[in-house]
Amino acid sequence: MDNSRDRIVITGVGLVSPIGNSLKEFRKNLLEGKSGIRRISKRLMGEVFAGVCEFDELKYQNKKYRKKGTRSGSIGIFCANEAIADSKVDFKNIDRSRAGVYVGITDHGAVEMEEELFAIREYNDDTSYWSHHFGPKIIANNPGGEIALNLGITGPHYTIGAACAAGNIGLIHGVQMLRLNEVDFALAGGVSEAPCSTGYFACFKNQNALAHHSDPARACRPFDVDRNGIVISEGGCLFTLERLSDAVKRGAKIYAEVVGYGINTDATDHVAPNSTRQSECMSMALNRAGINPQDIDLINTHATSTPLGDETESISINKIFGDCETVCITNTKSFIGHAMGAAGALELAGELLTYEDDLIHHTLNLENLDPECAMRNIVKNAPIEHTNVDYILNNAFGMLGINSTVIVKRYEY
């Protein structure tokens, strides 16, 4: 029986990150240990650390449309077009009514609201100066709608609010819609414009959860005993997803097959994570993939460099993988900070080329492992060679207890 129509593969990657705007550049800087964290000046906050992206916002849209749109929308448009180019699909001849856009976000509208409030200060808070573009900028289906508009996609577009699990969940939703035969081609992942918001920095600082260090490059240090908070970052990553049968038919390059996923909810606290629910989420993904914990070769952790968050995830991983001697564990936020809604997708993308270069990138700034975060085979100090990575598990967890896990597999031609 041919089940290739139910097998979903990644055929293109488009991304924007603090350390590169292509998968090749992103991967190179991960392997070379380059940090993307720097000091920026933030309104009302002064100097803060952030991961900021630099890319050509006008490469795929003109100034008129950029003015109507948002920063997260421009990130999404760039990533979507780059993913399509990378996939080498004949997009001009794709049935746009059978293409879908599934973009995860942490939130949307806070940046635009702040900008308008500060802008009308110059006019004694006269609301007649409030931008008439405000409505479409803050609605929940932006930036997915901006991507669909830019590409002329007339199939479904969803912007999925799932906190910091959103990048994974955007990908998962694209997989589900392909399997349901709702679409034939999907753009799926996540985006974030978080550093544009003063509110994010103020919120995390007032929770004592904003990272501080004398050196920006060393501020984000997951699992390290001296970690003290997150670094807020922006970015985006969208994948082109296709059924295996369609990808093989057109001779597409296949980065990986999406074989398992899990989504669940803690239902215990607004912010504090729940290790039991996280473990259950990983188990759900393993069950859906039809594999055992021992089959996983690499885990990319969600760990944000907060004391409680890192410890909780370590407990949940050890519960499932504690007896697995060969699984390797790493973290990408140590390089780029926490890209919020983009995090899950970006961090998964950073691991995909493991299938080509046989290397696992290390966790940056892990100098003194916290005993409460002790796990087997955490890759630190430098990348390691690994020629037999088949299954990669990627975690992404968020506020209000939303958890997600994605498992991808090496595709054998």
Q: Which residues of the chain have pLDDT under 70?
A: 1-5
- What's this model's pTM, rounded to 2 decimal places? 0.97
For position 404, what pLDDT does the model report? 98
What count of residues does the chain have? 413
Q: Which residues contact 387 (CB under 8 A, 6 or more apart)?
A: 358
For residue 274, what are its two tokens? 């729940």
Tokens describing residue 256: 């990986």
Q: Please name the residue ranges forming H helices in 53-186.
A: 63-68, 71-87, 110-119, 134-138, 144-151, 166-179
Told to judge if 212 belongs to the known catalytic residues of this protein, a careful annotator would answer: no
Q: What is the pLDDT of residue 345?
A: 98
- In 106-184, the DSSP E strands lie at 157-161
Give the Cα separation of 236 and 95 in Å (integer). 25
Q: Do 171 and 347 form a contact (C-beta atoms < 8 A)?
A: no
d(CA 4, CA 391): 19
Phi, psi of 7 (to 5 degrees): -95, 125
CB 408 within 8 A of CB 10: yes
Instruction: Please say if 132 is a catalytic residue.
Output: no
Question: For the chain, what are the domain ranges?
Answer: 8-249, 261-408
Catalytic residue among 108, 173, 302, 362: 302
Q: What pLDDT score does 335 carry? A: 98
Catalytic option among 53, 79, 157, 164 = 164
CB 13 within 8 A of CB 78: no
196 is catalytic: no
| Domains 8-249 and 261-408 agree in fold | yes
CATH superfamily of 261-408: Thiolase/Chalcone synthase (3.40.47.10)
Q: Which position has the token pair 């448009």?
A: 77
The answer to whether the CB of 233 falls within 8 A of the CB of 78 is no
Catalytic site residue from 338, 361, 362, 373: 338
The predicted structure's pLDDT at residue 1: 39
**3.40.47.10, 3.40.190.10, 3.30.390.50, 3.40.50.10800: which CATH number matches 8-249?**
3.40.47.10
Q: Please say whether the dihedral angle defined by the alpha carbons of residues 189, 338, 66 and 85, taken in this order, is positive or negative.
A: negative
